[in-house]
Amino acid sequence: MTDNPTDPQQGAEGAPGAVPPQQPQGQQQPTPPQPPQQPQSQPTPPPAPQQQPPQGYPQQPPHGYPQQPQGGYQQPAYGPPADNSNLQLNLWLSVFFAWLPALIFFLIEKDKVDPATRKAVADNLNFQLIRTIAMVAALLIIWIPILGQLLYIGVAIAGLVIAIMHAVKVPPQVQTGQYATFMVTPSWVK
């Protein structure tokens, strides 16, 4: 064995008094990485003591946390039942413009309103489709003298009168939460 401190065969653990190998001059030993320092923040005050609710009352969740339902399923939240101005507008526009406003309101409001209003909007669309089909059928046989013209006029007047009756009768029923009844209405669109 040699006394050379850079000899790889000699180690610090082997001989007492042996010198560990040194790095050449000009190079520094790498320092181990330091963990990042957390910025100093002010200590948070302890939470205020909560009062216990009286016996028999459910405990409220802390501020900022949502209320959990007490049992069963919770009803989905719909718009307020008292606001049926869009339904009224839909029905009155449908009196004069048939199926087009009924279709527009159905597509816009089908997922935003309560079930009673949704059914009323769908039933209005169904009635307006029946009214349009009846008008087209009467128009096809208008060429029959007298009978064709009377049938066309009768279908037009009956459709107008029934649509006005719906526009007057349905909004109060829906406002009270009832399912409205429409005359001459199949269940095509649900």
Q: Which of 1-10, 54-63, 157-166 has the highest mean pLDDT?
A: 157-166
CB 186 within 8 A of CB 127: no
77 belongs to a structural domain: no
The pLDDT of residue 130 is 94
CB 187 within 8 A of CB 131: no
167 belongs to a structural domain: yes
The pLDDT of residue 63 is 59
Range of the domain at 153: 85-175
What's the predicted TM-score (pTM) here? Answer: 0.55
23 belongs to a structural domain: no
The pLDDT of residue 113 is 86
Is 184 a residue whose pLDDT tops 70?
A: yes
Give start and end residues of each alpha helix (H) in the chain: 85-97, 99-109, 115-140, 147-175
58 belongs to a structural domain: no
5 belongs to a structural domain: no
16 belongs to a structural domain: no
Q: b/e per residue, 142-162, with b = 16+ CB within 10 A?
A: eeeeeeeeebbeebeeebeeb
CB 80 within 8 A of CB 156: no
Section 12-38 average pLDDT = 59
The pLDDT of residue 82 is 45
Q: How confident is the model at residue 94 (pLDDT cuts 50, 70, 90)?
A: very high
Q: In angstroms, rounded to a whole number, what is the distance separating the alpha carbons of residues 176 and 84?
A: 10
125 belongs to a structural domain: yes
Phi first, then psi, for residue 159 (nearest 5°) are -60, -40
The number of folded domains in the chain is 1
Average pLDDT, the chain: 76
11 belongs to a structural domain: no
